[in-house]
Each structure stands twice: as C-alpha cells, then as structure tokens.
C-alpha cells in the first residue's frame, strides 16, 4: 500500500496536530499572565524596596563611620594617616569584589591623568580625618557644610558660573551660624580649624574635578573610584613614614584595634558605594535631604558618645546654620522641581 505523504510530511502533520492540541488546551485552560500594569507595579515595589535598603545603609554607615573613626583616634590613639591609607586599600579590594559581581563595569582610563583627582581625594579624606581627630564632631560636621559655597565661589571665579540671588543669600546664615558654633566650641583649637578648612578646600576642588573627569572620560563615579582608591593609597603611603613612624604600629597589634580598623574600612566602603548609588538612582533632592538629616544626628550622637557638650550658643549657631541649609535646599532643588 502506498501513502500519499512521505515520512517527513507525516511528521509535519503530527507536529501540527500537537500544536493544535496545545492551543486548544490553552484556550480551555488559559495560563494566567499578569497584565502590564501589574508587572509595572511589581517593578515599582521592588525598586522602592531596594531604594529603601540602600538609603538605610547609606544613612547608618555615614553616621557609623564618623563615630567609629573618632573612637579609633580618641580611645585607641591609632595614627590618622595610616588609618586613611588602610581604608583606601580596603575600598579598592571591595571594589574588585563588586567588579566580579558585575555591580559596575570596568573601563580603561589613563593612569597619569588620574593622579590629580586621586591627590585631591586623598587630601580631602586625610584632612577630614585630621579635622575629626582634633575637633569636636559638631565643628567637624558644620565646617563640612561650607563645601558647597566654596565650590560655587571657585566656579564663579574660574569658570564664570552664575547663581540666583536667593541661593547666594542662603549661605549667609550657613556661614554666620558655623562661625558662631565654632567660636564657642569648648574644644576649639587652631590646628583642628586649619585641618577642617584645608579639608574643605580639597573637597571643593575634588568635586569640581570629579564633574570634569566624568564628562571628559564618559564614566561614572564608581569607575573613577576604582582608580582613585589605590592611587590615593599609594600617594599617602609615600607620605605616612614622614609623619607616622611605622615602627610605632607594633603596640596596635591587638584583636580589638585590628577589628575596629577592619570594620571602619568596610563601613567606609559602604558609605562611598551607597553615596554613588543614591545620587545615580534616586534624586538630588533625596540625597540632599538625607545629608541634612544626617548632619543633625551625627552632631548629637557624637556629642553624647564623646562627652562633647553643646552650650546654648553652639546650639543657636547650629540652628542658624541649618536654617540656611534648608533655604538653600528649597531654592536649589524643591522649588526647581515644582516648577
């Protein structure tokens, strides 16, 4: 008996029958596919969940790293520049882990061009830590608020930038309030003030360079940090022996001190990593608001932990400063967004 179809044709017919049966079954018992609005809602919920987690990590780690570093300086008397250098290399090692986990992508950047920004990065971290060591937490934190007007002043002087009058005027209470609080600080000293203002200048120049490098090399902050951290560590490593003899480190070779140093390095990494994530994935308003709320909390927690009492004049200066900060935030971000 001969068949009108070849074996190949029969196989195709069988496949068609199978497909028809599957289609019929799916029509009788349709698979539940979430509508697009439901999928979008799930994405929003997941995004909000992770945003909240990163936001919380940034908030807690920023407060923790300042008080942890202050504790290492005050209670264990560990040398400042050495701790800063260790933190840089730990940040680099943890960034290598993040690179393997593909949390950011590697790009090749010219090493020599990275030296100026790495020097500023090392300078602002080192002098910030010196400021933290020799000043109260309140003075340290308030002088950091002068970075933004310093950036604006440098941009106006050298890059012909212009700013609205309300934003410029908002820095008058910030400056006056900081002067009042610093002047009436019970632990005021000139070297600490010098370190604080030097840190402020390094930070301002660093922020300007970061913006320039990101545009020039089309890279993000984490990709720059991958180069900055080890280069800054190497630059500091060449300076440390002249200020902090390595032979004196033997007395710190105990479990408590080493544990605190390693913990400080890990927390410092989380601060840097989450700052870049918050700025990139949330908004300037969110980062600005979290920064101001941290300022108040850091000052009061530091005052409590390290027994740095705030007198009534310091509290007045602090309140006056924060008025200026929130006025700046309003005209810089919130009013701009509402428009």
| Average pLDDT value for residue range 93-122 | 91
Q: What is residue 324's predicted lDDT score, i.e. its pLDDT? A: 77
Q: What is residue 226's predicted lDDT score, i.e. its pLDDT? A: 92
Distance between CA atoms of residues 223 and 337, nearest Å: 29
| Average pLDDT value for residue range 263-284 | 73
Mean of all residue pLDDT scores within the chain? 76
Between 255 and 35, name the one with better pLDDT. 255
Q: What is residue 146's predicted lDDT score, i.e. its pLDDT? A: 80
Closest CA to 299 of 13, 5, 67, 72: 67
Q: What is residue 214's predicted lDDT score, i.e. its pLDDT? A: 82
pLDDT digits (tens, 9 = 90+) for 71-88: 888 888 888 888 889 999
- Give, as one character, the DSSP assignment of residue 75: H
Helix boundaries (H) for 101-189 = 115-134, 137-144, 147-159, 165-183
pLDDT band at residue 13, thresholds of 50, 70 and 90? very low
Length of the chain: 339
**Contact of 90 with 265, CB cutoff 8 Å:** yes
**Contact of 236 with 81, CB cutoff 8 Å:** yes
Closest CA to 174 of 137, 149, 204: 149
pLDDT band at residue 42, thresholds of 50, 70 and 90? low
Q: What is residue 137's predicted lDDT score, i.e. its pLDDT? A: 78
Specify the DSSP element, H or E, that contains 68.
helix 36-76
Closest CA to 276 of 229, 223, 329, 326: 223
At residue 231, does pLDDT exceed 90? yes
Closest CA to 313 of 183, 188, 172: 183
Q: What is residue 304's predicted lDDT score, i.e. its pLDDT? A: 74
Q: What is the pTM of this model?
A: 0.70
Those residues whose C-beta lies under 8 Å from the C-beta of residue 9, and which sit 6 or more positions away, are none
Q: What is residue 3's predicted lDDT score, i.e. its pLDDT? A: 37
State percent of the chain over pLDDT 70: 72
**Contact of 69 with 264, CB cutoff 8 Å:** yes
Secondary structure tally for the chain: helices H, strands E: 13, 0
DSSP state string for 280-336: HHS-HHHHHHHHHHHHHHHHHHHHHHTT-PPPHHHHHHHHHHHHHHHHHHIIIIIHH
């Amino acid at each position: 008996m001969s068949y009108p179809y070849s074996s190949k044709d029969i196989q195709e017919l069988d496949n068609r029958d199978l497909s028809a049966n599957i289609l019929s079954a799916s029509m009788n018992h349709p698979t539940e596919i979430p509508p697009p609005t439901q999928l979008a809602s799930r994405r929003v919920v997941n995004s909000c969940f992770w945003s909240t987690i990163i936001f919380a990590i940034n908030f807690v780690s920023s407060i923790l790293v300042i008080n942890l570093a202050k504790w290492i300086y005050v209670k264990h008397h560990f040398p400042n520049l050495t701790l800063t250098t260790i933190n840089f290399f730990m940040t680099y090692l943890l960034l290598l882990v993040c690179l393997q986990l593909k949390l950011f992508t590697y790009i090749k950047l010219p090493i020599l061009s990275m030296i100026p920004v790495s020097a500023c990065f090392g300078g602002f971290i080192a002098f910030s830590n010196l400021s933290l060591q020799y000043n109260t937490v309140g003075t340290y934190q308030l002088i950091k608020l002068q970075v933004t007007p310093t950036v604006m002043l440098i941009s106006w002087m050298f890059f012909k930038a212009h700013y609205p009058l309300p934003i410029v005027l908002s820095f008058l209470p910030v400056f006056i309030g900081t002067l009042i609080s610093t002047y009436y600080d019970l632990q005021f000293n000139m070297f600490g003030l010098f370190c604080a203002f030097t840190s402020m200048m390094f930070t301002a120049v660093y922020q300007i360079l970061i913006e320039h490098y990101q545009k020039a090399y089309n890279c993000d902050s984490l990709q720059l940090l991958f180069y900055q951290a080890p280069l800054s560590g190497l630059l500091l490593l060449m300076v440390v022996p002249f200020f902090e003899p390595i032979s004196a480190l033997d007395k710190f070779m105990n479990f408590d001190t080493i544990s605190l140093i390693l913990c400080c390095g890990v927390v410092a990494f989380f601060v840097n990593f989450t700052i870049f994530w918050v700025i990139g994935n949330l908004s300037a308003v969110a980062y600005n608001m979290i920064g101001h709320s941290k300022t108040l909390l850091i000052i009061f927690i530091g005052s409590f932990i390290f027994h740095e009492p705030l007198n009534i004049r310091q509290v007045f200066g602090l309140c006056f400063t924060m008025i200026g900060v929130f006025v700046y935030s309003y005209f810089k971000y919130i009013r701009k967004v509402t428009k």
